[in-house]
Amino acid sequence: MVRNLKPVIKYLCNISTNLASHCFKFKRGIVSLSKIRSMQLNIKNETSTLRAVVLGQPGSIGKVPAPDKTFDAKSYESVLNGVYPTEEAIYKEMSAFENVLLKYNVQVFRPWTLENCNQVFARDVAFVIDDKIINSNIIPDREDEKEAYEVIYDLIPYNKIYNLPEKAHVEGGDVVLLNDKVFVGLYSGSDYPQLKTARTNLYAYNFLKEIFPEKTFFPFELKKHNTDPRQGVLHLDCTFMPVSYNKAIIYKDGFLNPKDYHMLMELFGSRNVFELTQEEMYSMNANVFSISPTVVVSEKRFTRLNDHMENEWGLTVERIPYYEISKMGGLLRCSTLPLMREKA
């Protein structure tokens, strides 16, 4: 997987990228991080108290892509409208997110910074289920991003790292965990090869079932659209997200089959579900991120959702600016790769 990329100076921080005294600084190949520490992965759901996470990297994202070089409908729209976010805006928003994580004593790791490579969305590169990390088969145009996660994989026992077969396509945004249940967003239409927004296929779903035979898996076919972000969803976490102990955020029309929506409503109960409008889905309201069962990080503009979580569900909502990043088709959960949560 090694390519002739030109990496900048790289950092791994065991506390914060803002605190230089806690950083290890080195270039690739000089230090083996496995000699520094070994990490015991543990992710069973979306809401248990977070202890360690990878946060994407805002540096050196490269130039604004041409419309035909974008990877999702929201980015396509942003480029056409001339509102694609600047690197400075992305940096400010990700710094605000990192500061909230540090406030709750979460250990924050960052991938290497690669030159001219958009590395904001860590969730797409890999994801953790229980004590195993799955190396995603992301779309070919983003394959270079994986190289930057060498710094993370060096901390993980080799027998806990899983590489999928080449034809098993999956990204972490399509995998949502609820203890013994695993919800997987996918697309199995015959036009799958033509849809940039179709990221997870049935082959990957079945392969994950073999890796975790003790789990109950639920396949959800999602609506897809390459250029209109109101007519399709990129990942499952753009239309469904558990929060707290028994609550959920759901956008009904993100599911291709209505029965999937009704199944989730029955599972959580209508009183425990916040249903999104199309505009709220478009603004990425489902893609909030839980630090614990009682603390959720959300975009400050999500007024109706944030007020509901605080006033009706009694949650602490950390409201931060993340609007600019949403123009690239992802938000808070998309920017993270959780590594360790406390046992439920």
Neighbouring residues of 266: CB distance < 8 A, sequence distance ≥ 6: none
Q: Is 175 inside a domain boundary?
A: yes
Q: Is 116 inside a domain boundary?
A: yes
Q: Is 5 inside a domain boundary?
A: no
Is the pLDDT confidence value at 28 over 80? no
Phi and psi (nearest 5°) for 76? Answer: -60, -45
CATH number at residue 280: 3.75.10.10
Q: Is 92 inside a domain boundary?
A: yes
Is the pLDDT confidence value at 11 over 60? no
Q: What's the pLDDT at 144?
A: 72
* CA atoms of 64 and 54, how far apart (whole Å): 25
Structure-token pair, residue 12: 């791994």
| pLDDT tens figures, 116-133 | 888 999 998 999 999 999
Is the pLDDT confidence value at 8 over 60? no
Q: Is 240 inside a domain boundary?
A: yes
Q: Is 6 inside a domain boundary?
A: no
Is the pLDDT confidence value at 41 over 60? yes
| pLDDT tens figures, 203-228 | 999 999 999 999 999 999 999 999 99
Least trusted range by pLDDT, from 86-95, 101-110, 189-198: 189-198
**Edge-to-edge strands of the sheet including 240-243?**
240-243, 247-250, 273-275
**Band (12; pLDDT cuts 50, 70, 90):** very low
Q: Is 305 inside a domain boundary?
A: yes
Q: What's the pLDDT at 151?
A: 81
Structural domain boundaries, residue 171: 13-341
3-state secondary structure of 12: strand
Q: What is the mean pLDDT of the chain?
A: 88
Sign of CA dihedral 243, 246, 251, 253: positive
**Band (141; pLDDT cuts 50, 70, 90):** low
What is the rounded average pLDDT of the residues 24-42? 50
Is the pLDDT confidence value at 242 over 50? yes
Q: Is 103 inside a domain boundary?
A: yes
What is the rounded average pLDDT of the residues 159-174? 94
In total, how many domains does the chain have? Answer: 1
